[in-house]
Amino acid sequence: MTTSAASFSQDELKALVGQAALAYVVPGEIVGVGTGSTVNKFIDALATIKDQIPGAVSSSVASTERLKALGINVLDANEVASLSVYIDGADEIDGRGYMVKGGGAALTREKIVAALAERFVCIADASKRVEVLGDFPLPVEVIPMAAAQIANHFKAMGGRAEIRMKDGAPLVTDNGQHILDVRGLKIAEPLAFESEVNQWPGVVTVGVFAHQKASVCLLGTPEGVQTLNY
């Protein structure tokens, strides 16, 4: 299904897919909310129906602050047995609904909340759609003392891993860890890749979302919002 429209700016496309995601929010149920600029548009849209939901489970400090500022109740993930839907963006998404996420450094909490949800609805613009994952540098949250060892594992795969920096020092995640950004990989088998990297000591979370893949992608295109089902 495509919603026809004139050409849009990237910011307008983000607002369109954020609005379209409201259709997947189940009235009376808690919603899982991701992180990022596209999700911020969804949070703004969610505020217009906040009286229809008991609250949200958030994947980052930034999203929690935005939700609370708009008067949406935020629950801890430990308080929730399951979610009907988790709505989040992606840095890349392929034709099977497998994604690379973590450009905003919230991948661990995003994966935790996604794992609570029956359905993952990805909201993204058309530039995020790829044939094979790997053009976007793969984020991997790591325990700092293991960073060099993990970087060597990726080197053996043909990848180049670098610690993500911020203001001249390693970026520290909401969980107090560091992130490796890995370039030069082509991830043709995301499920097997995610399972393998998960086993390496010191890996907190790899930014391949294959075991928690998208069920639906609302893709912002120059013609409007395209709905992809997986």
CA gap 174, 9 in Å, rounded: 31
CA gap 167, 89 in Å, rounded: 25
pLDDT above 90 covers a percentage of the chain that reads 93
Q: What is the pLDDT of residues 87-140, one digit of tens each?
A: 999 999 999 999 999 999 999 999 999 999 999 999 999 999 999 999 999 999
- Reading phi first (left if > 0) and then psi (alpha if -120 to 50, else beta), residue 15 is in alpha
10-130+211-229: CATH topology: Rossmann fold (3.40.50)
What's the whole-model pTM score? 0.93
**Which parts are annotated binding residues?**
35-38, 88-91, 101-104, 128
Q: Give catalytic residue positions.
A: 110
138-206: CATH topology: Alpha-Beta Plaits (3.30.70)
Domain coordinates in residue numbering, the chain: 10-130+211-229, 138-206
Distances (CA, A) of 208 to 76, 131, 222: 24, 15, 27
Residue 133 per-residue DSSP state: B
**Which parts are annotated binding residues for substrate?**
35-38, 88-91, 101-104, 128
